[in-house]
Amino acid sequence: MSSTGRIHVGVGGWTYEPWRGTFFPPGLPHSQELHWASRRLTAVEVNGTFYSTFKPATFAKWRDDTPDGFVFAIKAHRSTTNRRDLGSAREAIDRFLGSGLDELGPKLGPVLWQLMPTKAFDEGELESFLALLPRSLGSLRLRHVLEVRHPSFATPGYLALARRHGCVTVHTDSPKYPNIVDVDAPFAYLRLMRSEPQLVTGYPGEALDRWADGARAWRSGPVPRDAYVFFINGAKERAPAAALALLERLGPPASP
């Protein structure tokens, strides 16, 4: 997947009971929720793959249920990152990547590798882990994203290491984790976690305006770069409304 200056906006998953009757119309069969969501949002981050192993047929069904241009960001299985020594993850990484992700074809977006909040920055250990991440899966070029959640990663040495291995760092507005910005990354990956239940759109309008301006900056530079924006936590019941409000600000997407 090459960078085309597209902005992809979505939520975490598509199965959440409070969205039924609010984002999803009353009575919509659960089996049609992905079909519905994918025609209103432009991406989803799949978190179920962090906890369970899915079959190739499942990824193929997701591919066929969604329109051209829609993308799935896939969170890597926890067995790959929830371990004492990240450098020992080769078998788990191969098992996860070989579970059928390639069935998504061009709809496979970034692969998210989430580290434990207690995992501190160890340059040698992290380099060993990043060296295990392949650049491609069959004919698909992989985009790797690392979510680091320990404050020790807020250092230029970490970013330099991640860049060397072609790995983009998650930017989050979470008050609990380091908010790392890498303006030189080949694309942006945002996980927004501060939606508020009393706001219909989760975020105030001025905050959504700022996120929209930031996303536009990625696609409008001398070299257009993609941006992925996911409303994940906080008041999760507001996530679809936040995503829709951001998409409205951004206007019609560019052609895939």
Largest CA distance in the chain: 53
Per-residue pLDDT band for 252 (boundaries 50, 70, 90) equals confident
* Tally of domains in the chain: 1
- The model's pTM is 0.95
pLDDT per position as a tens digit, 57-116: 999 999 999 999 999 999 999 999 999 999 999 999 999 999 999 999 999 999 999 999
**Average pLDDT in the chain:** 95
- Give the three-state DSSP class for 173: coil
Average pLDDT (204-213) is 97
Domain for residue 94, yes or no?
A: yes
Q: How many residues does the chain have?
A: 256
H helices of the chain, in order, are 33-37, 48-51, 56-65, 90-97, 123-130, 156-164, 205-219, 239-250
Q: Rounded CA gap, 77 and 207, in Å?
A: 32
Domain for residue 244, yes or no?
A: no
Domain for residue 139, yes or no?
A: yes
- Give the three-state DSSP class for 185: coil
Q: Rounded CA gap, 113 and 170, in Å?
A: 10
The domain that holds 180 is classified in CATH as 3.20.20.410
pLDDT score of 256: 44
Average pLDDT (126-137) is 98
Token reading at 145: 């994203």
pLDDT per position as a tens digit, 31-52: 999 999 999 999 999 999 999 9
Domain for residue 160, yes or no?
A: yes
Which range of residues forms the domain containing residue 31? 7-187
Strand partners, 44: 11, 72
